[in-house]
Structure 1
Amino acid sequence: MDQYGVAKHKVADLKAVDGSEVQDMQKVKDGANDLIKKAEKMRELPSFNGQTIQLIQGVEKTVTDTKSVLPNFPYVKNNVPGLTESISGNDLKLKADSSVAHGNVKNAVQFVNKSNGFTDNDLPYFIYSTDGDKTGDKSQSVIATKDPSNALAGLNVNVIGLGETTLLKHDADTNSTDTQGEAQLTGSVWGLYKAGTDTLVKYSDGQDGYPVTVTNGEKVDDKQVQLKLTDLTKGVGVKNLDNSADYEWGEVKAPEGYELSTKRYKVHFDDKDKFDDKTSNYIDDVTALDRVLQFHFGFIKAQDVNGSYTGLNG
């Protein structure tokens, strides 16, 4: 009551009554203040209550309760499949796997100080008063409420997932980087498309704090992902893609001596992909096969005098 400002009399107003056994009123006041502080501490919520925590799929994140009251909330309710949580002292560890949907989830994890405290619908009402004086003139004010010891806290999460893809290029006949004749695999230009469309991915399509970034190859456009292959061993690639979407590599310009490929090479991210803990990206690589140009020609045999077919012997 004192904490919520509904008390009519404060601790400071307490006085010893003549003839009572109370000899040191200050001890009473100190004791009352101590009880109030302990009660407030029991009701205090962790510092991260109501906050939104950004999580990158596959990366464990530690959130610390700076109020040091997390141990008062031993009961935890996790509302997100694929999200794991663990508590050690005042540290809360969270980790979302690749199955957790991107975006904001309210009350993703909730904490309560009582085992039945996630809902107070079934809790009874209580009437509180120091001496049972309903007027409040000679006692603390009367208050009707549900059990005030029940405290509930929670946090939201904002989940993002990152994907990295590299395209390598091989000769279709040798199935390797070995070329035929004077043909060259380097110099080709590849674009990354949104799957099933002719729309190229933009560098501005990156997620909050994680822009789409070139890992291999040479930019030929500053806005859209179009990369020139300069190193056969590294190919062309980008990271920090939204890994909940599908993509396709497509050849924009063929290298010298090769046909322009019309095939699209699909990029799809899932839990089977390798996870790079340095870049926090799930990795899906593909290999494109290019065929050398084929030239077709024919010839006729004729007399060198008049180009006639006639008069040829044998």
Structure 2
Amino acid sequence: MIDGIADRQDITLEELRILLETADEKSIGYLKKLASDKAHETYGNQVFIRGLIEFTNYCKNDCLYCGIRHSNKNADRYRLTDEQIMSCCESGYELGFRTFVLQGGEDPYYTDDRVCAIVAAIKEKYPDCAVTLSIGEKSKESYQRFFDAGADRYLLRHETANEEHYRRLHPKEMSLANRKRCLWDLKEIGYQVGCGFMVGSPGQTIETLYEDLKFIKDLKPHMVGIGPFISQKDTPFADEPSGTMERTLRLLSIIRLIHPKVLLPATTALGTIHPKGRELGIQSGANVVMPNLSPVNVRDKYKLYDNKICTGDEAAECRYCMENRMKSIGYQVVVSRGDFAG
């Protein structure tokens, strides 16, 4: 069955159910090995690093799962100055990062003009680097302006491709239709586009996961970011159980088999729920890691979920720790933009 999924680059609902529910360790071991081999076919033993800069934790939205949701009065809000952002890039560049990921809440302070100015400044100083934005839902015109300013990639997790499940996770002002519209607009403009979802979010079922995989097949994104749902104490989902590492690893492998050349991160959330989570993610078909370049004094304030790792590490510690972790399992962190190889 697993070979059939790899050959077809597709999966049925029943195949997904079997792979997510089976306790047969031999089958799951084979799934992960096949996915790892598939990643090697395109990218070898290379792991791409992205420098994550969490530049604002203000957000106008009130997503039920997120610790920086607008109504969370306990959040310690901050915005990095342009100078701080450039300083993060400077230290990151010296450490070998050639992709900078600007991630933040949907913060109205960052107008299109401000975002374009930041992107243009980074591209002017570091023309050999890729700039990735992860700043939420915007108009197609805004996305075009960011692209024209030099943005190369855009990450926007769709979170779920199922309408009812989307309603469970988001306030009524937000819509799945608009989220999908954003992703299609980004792709049409010419970005390298990333979508993704949390594994184990409240209301998620094997059926909704199957819809996620079908959406990934349709969109054909360049990147897919998945990680386990981890609750945050100041949200309506504070008491909901977290997603599991094992289901996340299986889904990483499945995504690699149905979309072989995708750029697939082993996320910080995966490392948060298990000390070797990121290594196990790489061994299950992932090929990207995203160490944090944000100033140490704000890292603990970007609380999408609780108990996030690496909040006290300096950028250099994150960089070299990651390199050593990957080397320990036979992989090489490479200094390059790490573009999609499709």
TM-score (norm 2): 0.20
The structure carrying a bigger helix percent of its residues is 2
* TM-score, length-scaled by structure 1: 0.21
Q: Which fold has the larger relative contact order, with Cα–Cα distance below 8 Å and residues 6 or more apart in sequence?
A: 2
Quick check: which one's strand share is greater? Answer: 1
